[in-house]
Copies of this chain bind each other. A is one copy, B any other.
Amino acid sequence: MNDTEPASRAVTAALLVIGDEILSGRTKDKNIGFCADYLTEIGIDLCEVRIVPDVISEIVGALNAMRARYTYVFTTGGIGPTHDDMTADAVAAAFGVEIGEDPRIINLLLQWMKPEDLNAARRRMARVPKGAALVENTVSKIPGFWIGNVIVMAGVPAIMQAMLTAVGPKLDTGKRTVSVTILAGDVAEGAYAAELSAVADAYPALGIGSYPSMANGRFNNEIVVRGKDAEAVAQAAAKIEAFLARLQAEKV
C-alpha cells in the first residue's frame, strides 16, 4: 500500500473504436492492444471496448453510455477531412455543445499549407466541439481533442500512439496494477483448476486468470495474477507455482 495512492481510488477507462473498416475486416485494429498496454502501464484500468460503425447515432449512444460510467473515454478514428469522418460531430452531439472551426487549428493548418489549399474539406479537420482542449499530434500535425472526460484521437496507429503519449502525462492515474505470469506449459487446465480456484478465493481482491494457447498443436497454458497490492500478488503467485511444481513432478 502506498499512502499517496489508496488502492480504492481506481481510475477507469473505456475505448471506443469508430469505423466501418474494422467491422468489415478491411482494416485489422492495432489500437486496442496499444491502448490496453499503455493505460495499464500508467495506472488506468481499461474496463470496456466497443467498436461501432461510422453512424452518428451509434457513436453518440456508445459515447454517452461509456462517459457516464468511466473516468475517461478514448476514441480512435473518424477525425479526418472526408465525409465518413463524423467523430467530432458525434462528440458535440453527445455533449450537446456547438461545433465550429477552431482558430488554433486553422492557424496550425496555415503553417504548412497555402491559404488557397485550405479548402472546405481540410477546414473540416479544424472543427471541434466548443470548449474542447487540443491533443498534440507530433506525426501529422492536426490535433485530436479533449472535452469533458472524452479524448478523441486519430485512427492511424502511428498518430493515435503519438496522441495517447501526448495526453498520457496529463491524465489522472491510480495505483498501477502489478502482474505476474506463471508458465503452466502443458499441465492441463483441468488438472490445476480446483487448486487455482482455491487461491482465487483466498485473494478476492486479485484477478487470477488461466490462459490456454496452442503452439505446435499442444497447449501452452499460462496463469496470470494481477492486482494493486504487489505483496498479495507475490504471495498468490508463490502458491500457484508450488502446486504447479507438484503437478509437473506428478506428470513425470
Residues of A participating in the B interface, judged by any CB pair closer than 8 Å: 17, 19-29, 32-33, 36-40, 45-54, 58, 80-85, 117, 119-122, 124-125, 139-140, 156, 158-159, 177, 179, 181, 189-194, 196-197, 200-201, 207-214, 219, 224, 226
Q: Quick one: given A54-B209, A224-B26, are A139 and B20 in contact (CB under 8 Å)?
A: no
28 contacts between A and B (CB under 8 A): A17-B49, A19-B209, A20-B207, A21-B209, A22-B32, A24-B36, A24-B46, A25-B37, A26-B179, A27-B211, A28-B33, A29-B29, A32-B51, A49-B49, A80-B212, A81-B189, A81-B193, A82-B189, A82-B192, A82-B197, A82-B209, A83-B208, A119-B190, A121-B193, A121-B194, A139-B214, A140-B219, A158-B214
With both beta carbons as reference points, the residue of chain B lying nearest to A198 in the complex is identified as: B83
Q: Select from chain B the residue with minimum beta-carbon distance to A36.
A: B25
Per DSSP, chain A at the interface is: mixed
Q: How many chain copies?
A: 2
Q: Report the bound CA distance from A106 to B204 in whole Å.
A: 31
A191 to B118, CA, bound (A): 9
How many angstroms from the CA of A53 to the CA of B192 in the assembled complex?
22
The interface residues of chain B lying within 8 Å CB-to-CB of A58 are: 48
How many Å from the CB of A153 to the closest CB on chain B?
14
Name the distance in Å between A114's Cβ and chain B's nearest Cβ.
12
Task: A27-B211, A82-B189, A122-B190 are known; give 10 further A-B pairs, CB within 8 A.
Answer: A25-B39, A25-B40, A29-B33, A48-B52, A50-B50, A82-B192, A82-B196, A83-B208, A84-B200, A159-B214
